[in-house]
Amino acid sequence: MRALHRATDRSDVVRRAFIGTAVTFVAAPWRAQAQPSARQARIGFLSGATLGPGPTQGMVEPFTRGMRELGYVEGRNLVIEFRWADGKAERLPELLAELLRLEIAVLVTTGIGPPMVAKQATSTLPVVAVLVDDPVQMGLAASIARPGGNFTGISGAFSGILAKRFQLMKDIVPSARKFAVLFNPDTATQGGIEKDVASYERVLAVPVRVLGARGPDDYDAVFARMASEEVDAVAILADPTFFVHRARLGELCVKHRMASVWGHKDYLGSWGVASYQGSFPAMFHRAAALVDKILKGTKPGDIAFEQVTKLDMVINLKAAKALGLTVPQRVLLGADEVIE
């Protein structure tokens, strides 16, 4: 697929780490399947998100379409076991245990939390990790080109994407005097974000605050803090808990008159102004090809991690108008989608 290529420099990937719950169970050894046949291939799919229109269109449909194109038909020679944590990271070990008891042949994970839980649980089950940032820094791979263990996958970010989101906000809010990053400490580390932000501040000539919120009990306080510090725009990092509570976060952005840029258009809801992220459909469609290689006998450690190159920029004019913002025409012309 043209939209993807093999990453060759792990310094080009945003660095984050997952702080998870240790688990002690071990998966049964996997069995490679020579080719699609009457025998059913059983695939596990583990996500921290909630199943709904966005995840269905962005993840499930592209993945199942990719499998069909490779000759795998659900109900005939393919079974996909989906598990969704609904934004509750503490549920991931339990859901993974369910999948392991089903003796799945390959596990597909989404985001940061699920592959880290899988890493703690098994060193034998093949895992295709989609939407990870730096698999080497996360300990999933010895190198991008030759992971060497039981993981391969597709990275959805790269060094500088957060700066590009801020530049987008600066184009939309040229008078902005201060930016902020909102992240979930359960799926990212403040130190890793701040390390990158220091360079962004020099380029943007605008100070950037880094603030964490684990769940809805933290949202009012963290937005009140940003308001007291006169933050004009906030980048809200992609996170399953933030996805579940995206409507509340968007309402707080409008209440405190803050423009917001998000990691993916499914997060925007009614009040997010913009999103800028690697294409979810492209990544999950491509993930099917990696699963197929494993089912046909290739070890995941011999399959290079790939990195998405197709980026989607979405502008929400409704949210911009609610904040009294006029989106420049050059920004609109560069958008992949404009929500009226």
The predicted structure's pLDDT at residue 156: 76
Q: How far apart are CA 50 and CA 86, in angstroms?
A: 4
The predicted structure's pLDDT at residue 193: 80
Angle (nearest 5°) at CA 304 between 238 and 163: 35
Three-state SS at 314: strand
Give yes or no for residue 134 having a pLDDT over 50: yes
Q: How far apart are CA 240 and CA 47, in angstroms?
A: 8
Give yes or no for residue 191 having a pLDDT over 80: no
Q: How far apart are CA 332 and CA 68, in angstroms?
A: 36
In sequence order, what are the residues at sequence separation of 6 or more whose Cβ sits closer than 8 angstroms to the Cβ of residue 24?
Answer: none
**Which amino acid is located at 242 in the chain?**
F
Q: What is the pLDDT of residues 203-246, one digit of tens each?
A: 788 899 999 999 999 999 999 999 999 999 999 998 888 988 99
Q: What is the pLDDT of residues 165-175, one digit of tens each?
A: 999 999 999 99
Give yes or no for residue 263 having a pLDDT over 90: no
Give yes or no for residue 289 having a pLDDT over 90: yes
Main-chain phi, psi angles of 235, to 5 degrees: -100, 120
The answer to whether the CB of 273 falls within 8 A of the CB of 319 is yes
Q: What is the pLDDT of residues 31-50, one digit of tens each?
A: 444 444 457 899 999 999 88
Query: pLDDT tier at 157 (50, 70, 90 boundaries)?
Result: low
Which pTM does this prediction carry? 0.76
Residue bearing the bigger pLDDT, 3 or 224:
224
Q: What is the pLDDT of residues 46-86, one digit of tens each?
A: 999 888 888 888 899 999 999 999 999 999 999 999 999 99
Q: Is 274 exposed, middle or buried (0-12, 13-18, 19+ CB in 10 A)?
A: buried
Q: Is 201 exposed, middle or buried (0-12, 13-18, 19+ CB in 10 A)?
A: middle
Domains annotated for the chain, with CATH where assigned, are 4-158+279-310 (3.40.50.2300), 161-277+312-339 (3.40.50.2300)
Q: How far apart are CA 266 and CA 43, in angstroms?
A: 25
Upper half-sphere CA count for residue 223 (Cβ side, 13 Å): 20
Q: Return mean pLDDT, the chain.
A: 86
Q: Tell me the average pLDDT across 243-252.
A: 93
**Which amino acid is located at 270 in the chain?**
S
What is 116-167 written as a DSSP string? Answer: HHHHHH-SSS-EEEEEES-TTTTTS-S-SS---SSEEEEE---TTHHHHHHH
The predicted structure's pLDDT at residue 261: 95
